[in-house]
Structure 1
Amino acid sequence: MRMIRRTFVATAVAATAALTAGTAFAQGKEVKIGYALAVNSHYGAAANAWAEGVEKGTNGAYKFKQFPASALGGERELIEGLQLGTVEAAIVSTGALSNFVPDVGVVDIPFLFRDTQHARAVMDGAFGQELLAKFQKRGLIALAWGEQGFRHLSNNKHAVNGVPDLKGLKIRVTENPVHITAFRTLGASPTPMSWPEVIGALQQGTIDGQENPISVLVSAKLWQVQKHLTLTSHVYAPMALIVSPSFWGSLNAAQKTAFTEAAKKGALASRAFVDNVEKKGVEEAKANGMKVVEKVDQTAFRTALEPAYKEYAKKFGQKTLDSITAVK
């Protein structure tokens, strides 16, 4: 009788342990991911696809917990969190990344990319992949290049039809030396500022305008705080899908593959989102009262930027710039 009872207890304990283990596995290990904008943005599209791919690829062993809309801080704080290991994953723009991985700044040079097809070919090709590899020495593991689209200019003062109209405008730029140099050269007053501060600064008149892709303008409903939009397409804006080195080191080879392949799906999801929003985003801005200048003389902008281009060539190397423009 005693033997039967012991066997029953042992079986019950084993069953309970198995059930507990199964429940823990079903829940999956939590992966905190942060990004700047709302869930209904290109950031959110990338995060959702990445999360879905990871959950499937790891058979539920890992599940993302999303912190959108700068809930974990601005992009600088997110990157520092990745380096420290307090954040497992993030999607971050190159605007902030160039302060941590200086070579990334080259993609922020104005009018470097001819169009979206050219930009994607560069980022998907050898140059883009080599750039991702440089993150590791800076305490970051970058897995894929997502996309925000081309940046455009908005402001509350007046329509910007050409370079002279930029004179004296206080334009919020990312905390990025390449962007700062460009707008200073164009005669504006560039004001570096973290994204979470931008809406308030526009409302208070601390800054006159900002520059961002249509995907950001629509997600943030910038027409609520901006009157004029000029489609300058002055800078192509990628974003990187990144994980913390300490978290990466805890994964086995199969899990690393799952995270990487899922990140690539996230990157494609961001591009699809951008393609869709750019078709209708300008019309949405107009419908919400923004006055839109749809064409500018980009040659005039490039000519005005010649002094800046000389600085960029010294900083990044003319061969690097030529290798990018040579991509078909």
Structure 2
Amino acid sequence: MRKFAACAAFGASLFATTALAEPVTLRLGHPVFEAHPIHDTAVRFKEAVERISNGDVTVEIYPARQLGDVKELAEGVQFGTVDMTVNSTSAYATLEPAIDAFQLPGAIPDYEGFVTMAKSAEARAIMDRLENHGMVALGVYDGGLRHFMTVGEPVESLEDMKGLKTRVAPNRMFLDAWSAVGVNPTPMAYGEVYSALETGTLDAVEINLTSIESEKYYEIGKAVTLTGQYFWPGFLLVNKNKFDSLTPEQQAAMRQAADEIVEPQVMAVKELDTKVLKRLDELGIPVVTPSDAFKAELAAAFAPVVEQYEAIDPLIADFSAKAKMLTPAAQ
């Protein structure tokens, strides 16, 4: 009888704790303008989690570097000065080298393949490592397939790329990959790229079509070559202490919302790419589709770097092996 009474008292106490849990509002910052898919990710998550939790979890979005640029947001969520972010995966590769798997050149064939990999056990194994650094990765989404934009003549061969001062995100693998191609890779913060292209500090930028639109690079870029070297994923991250302070129901709502939005978010980027290509055509900006020979040159240049990074961590090798099994979707 005493045992039953004790269990009943514990259950009542647990119910009271859950019932009295306060609704939570989370501040989510990201580094891009509202026309960019990263903002769309934040909006989709906000709407989904508020619906699933019946308003018990609400999200305030701070776009366009209001809470900091890529690096500042990465550190902010890690150390708890920012609750959440949707931020480039490459910003976290120095913490966890396995994260480079998401952007191995040529690894993921298309947007459909990205959805498969984003939901894979191989991706989850990589994301879970961020918990060792004070963050919980709820999911991985996409900012767009990366291409090559110049302020001068279009590039139509590997030779055309040689020596071009090209902005890359500050990440070791990108430096290695683009050095292998033969450009002059120039690490630079995202918010500085427009002025650098405008003043001639840069000759080119490897960039997604969606950023060409949202950052208005079309105002200064003269040509785009559809090299499609890798995607531009972003983690949806929450500070681990903040996440651990939530009720199990609140945590479950966040995880469910994050999973629910992966496919619609990624496929919306594919659709947006089509619209941006139409916009570039209307602006008279040449868009070059690489020849098979050019594609083969790029793949051959990237291949040693891919092998180098696959050997760094078993999780990279596992992710790459899974991605290589994907069959491109019928277009």
Say which of 150, 155, 164 aligns to 1:169.
164
State the shift of 1:164 in Å. Answer: 0.9
State the shift of 1:226 in Å. Answer: 0.9
Q: Which amino acid aligns with 1:286?
A: D
- Counterpart mapping for 1:120-131 below 5 A: 120-131=115-126
- Counterpart mapping for 1:74-89 below 5 A: 74-89=69-84
| Contact 2:146/2:231 (8 A) holds in 1 | yes
CA distance in 1, matches of 2:71, 2:261: 21
CA distance in 2, matches of 1:253, 1:122: 27
1:155-206 Cα shifts (integer Å, max 9, x gaps): 1122111111111101111111111111111110111111111112111211
Percentage of matched positions with identical amino acids = 26
- Counterpart mapping for 1:193-212 below 5 A: 193-212=188-207
Q: Which amino acid aligns with 1:263?
A: A
Which shows bigger deviation, 306-315 or 294-303?
A: 306-315
CA distance in 2, matches of 1:83, 1:72: 14
> Equivalent residue for 1:92?
87
> Equivalent residue for 2:266?
271
Which shows bigger deviation, 124-133 or 228-237?
A: 124-133
CA distance in 2, matches of 1:269, 1:119: 12
> Equivalent residue for 2:309?
312
CA distance in 2, matches of 1:35, 1:182: 26
| Contact 1:30/1:63 (8 A) holds in 2 | yes
> Equivalent residue for 2:300?
303
> Equivalent residue for 1:64?
59
| Contact 1:46/1:268 (8 A) holds in 2 | no
CA distance in 2, matches of 1:320, 1:29: 35
1:132-157 Cα shifts (integer Å, max 9, x gaps): 21211122100111112210010112
Q: Which amino acid aligns with 1:158?
A: E
Q: TM-score, normalised by structure 1?
A: 0.86
CA distance in 1, matches of 2:311, 2:50: 45
SS in 2 for 1:315: coil
Structure 1 gaps of 5+ residues are 1-24
| Contact 1:148/1:270 (8 A) holds in 2 | no
CA distance in 2, matches of 1:68, 1:319: 34
Q: Which amino acid aligns with 1:42?
A: P
> Equivalent residue for 1:30?
25
CA distance in 1, matches of 2:70, 2:217: 19
Structure 2 gaps of 5+ residues are 1-19
> Equivalent residue for 1:231?
226
1:14-57 Cα shifts (integer Å, max 9, x gaps): xxxxxxxxxxx9x9643111112112221121111111122223
CA distance in 1, matches of 2:56, 2:29: 20
SS in 1 for 2:197: helix
Q: Which amino acid aligns with 2:66?
A: A
Q: How many residues align?
A: 303
> Equivalent residue for 1:324?
323
Q: Rg larger in 1 or in 2?
A: 1
Which shows bigger deviation, 303-312 or 271-280?
A: 303-312
Q: Which amino acid aligns with 1:313?
A: E
CA distance in 2, matches of 1:262, 1:313: 31
Q: TM-score, normalised by structure 2?
A: 0.85
CA distance in 2, matches of 1:181, 1:298: 18
> Equivalent residue for 1:114?
109
Which shows bigger deviation, 114-123 or 315-324?
A: 315-324
Q: Which amino acid aligns with 2:206?
A: E
Matched, 1:142 2:137: yes
State the shift of 1:209 in Å. Answer: 1.5
Q: Which amino acid aligns with 1:156?
A: V
1:91-140 Cα shifts (integer Å, max 9, x gaps): 01122121222211022111112222223212211111212212111221
Q: Which amino acid aligns with 2:272?
A: V
1:203-262 Cα shifts (integer Å, max 9, x gaps): 121111111221222222210121110000111222111111121011010000111112
Q: Which amino acid aligns with 1:65?
A: E
| Contact 1:49/1:269 (8 A) holds in 2 | no
